[in-house]
Amino acid sequence: MKKCLNLFAAILIIVATAPCLSLYYSQAGNAQPAQLTEEVTEVSGSSSSAASGSGVAYPQRSRPGRVAPVKNELNMGSPSAAELDAISRVKLPANFNPRKSIASSVKNLGSPAGPAALSRAQLQFLENKSLAQAIPASIFYSLKFPQWPVAFNVPAPLSSNNIFAFDASAKPVLITTEEAMKQHFREHTAPIKNDQEARATLAAYLTLAEIFAQDGMYQFSTSEDDMKILKEDGGTTISGTSNVRPVGGNSGSIAAKLHIGPKGNLTSAQHSVNLQAGMRPICQSTKLLDPDILVRRMAEQDILIMGSAAKPYLDEQRTKLSPALQKEIDRVWARIVAEGR
């Protein structure tokens, strides 16, 4: 009888922890987050576990109650001075607001019964000198959906990472794939007259390529000084890389090559992505006040290792957690800033 009771208890533990353990192993093995198709709610009396990027399993104790519903609406944000200058540069119609145009174009995407994915999207103007030089007649915005700690099924035709382009026509052009980005870049790049413009064009191309390689946790850097130019009878080939900053275990690079015809036209653009994902946020912020001091220390260490790249995750989690946990998040973030992580 005692053996049967022990076996029954073991089965209950496995059943309770299996969903989060499978989430962790899918992340560790594929460097991809699991996807959520329904809004997450807290259920009274439930418990589970989750694991950090370091392999530490954190017990997850939920509190009674339900998460308040979130309106499925994109936060447009406000334009910066540089953005307003760019809008003026491309001669968009008076009083035209690209942010409002983007919000309007995605307003009705997604099912009312599904997750409020649009509310989690991040809209950002691409303030980039090289991009403005390579394609002076357009301005660009990125629309990204968080992929950690849980990725959502993004409503079609959007993808996790998107680009919106505007020119004087004020019609938004949605770019959701690398191939579509390459085509748009080739068709709209200004004629390239010298080596300096060739370097700027490659830097602009890498800026757009980074968006589709981004999972929210990479930090990229590109140096025009490291670019290589090869001149031939058929034109010029320029190559270079965007390197990942080695923070939180991240590494790798994006290598790109452009071919410029004899008349300065961009004839081809290609790139390859070789990235290795490091630590990713799962539930560490909710464990900063765990009763187990070892769990608290491991959760804080995970966040410190991720460093400034964890800021969007921490900001989102901060809106959901108790004042005591908000205070802990603020304390850990202060450490990240003070230590330059």
Q: Which two tokens stand for residue 12?
A: 């209950």
Q: Is the full-model pTM beyond 0.85?
A: no
Phi, psi of 70 (to 5 degrees): -110, 135
pLDDT the model gives residue 68: 56
Residue with tokens 């010029």, as numbered in its chain:
236
Beta bridge partners of 255: 241, 272
Q: Which two tokens stand for residue 180?
A: 């579509």
Q: How far apart are CA 306 and CA 211, in angstroms?
A: 19
pLDDT the model gives residue 70: 65
In degrees, rounded to 5, the angle at the alpha carbon of residue 243 between the alpha carbons of residues 192 and 147 is 110
211: amino acid identity, one letter = I
Residue 218 C-beta-side C-alpha neighbours within 13 Å:
25
Cα radius of gyration rounded to whole Å, the chain: 23
Question: Mean pLDDT per 10-residue run, the chain (341 residues)?
Answer: 45 39 35 42 36 46 51 88 94 94 88 71 95 97 89 86 96 96 96 96 97 94 93 93 93 97 95 95 93 94 92 90 95 95 89
pLDDT the model gives residue 66: 52
pLDDT the model gives residue 117: 78
**CB of 90 closer than 8 Å to CB of 168:** yes
Residues in the chain: 341
Domain ranges of the chain: 19-65+283-338, 81-109+116-276
Beta bridge partners of 266: 260
**CB of 66 closer than 8 Å to CB of 45:** no
How far apart, in Å, are the Cα atoms of 182 and each of 178, 187, 188, 257?
Answer: 6, 9, 10, 12
Count of beta carbons in the 10 Å neighbourhood of residue 87: 18
Residue with tokens 């035209």, as numbered in its chain:
96
Q: How far apart are CA 306 and CA 248, in angstroms?
A: 4
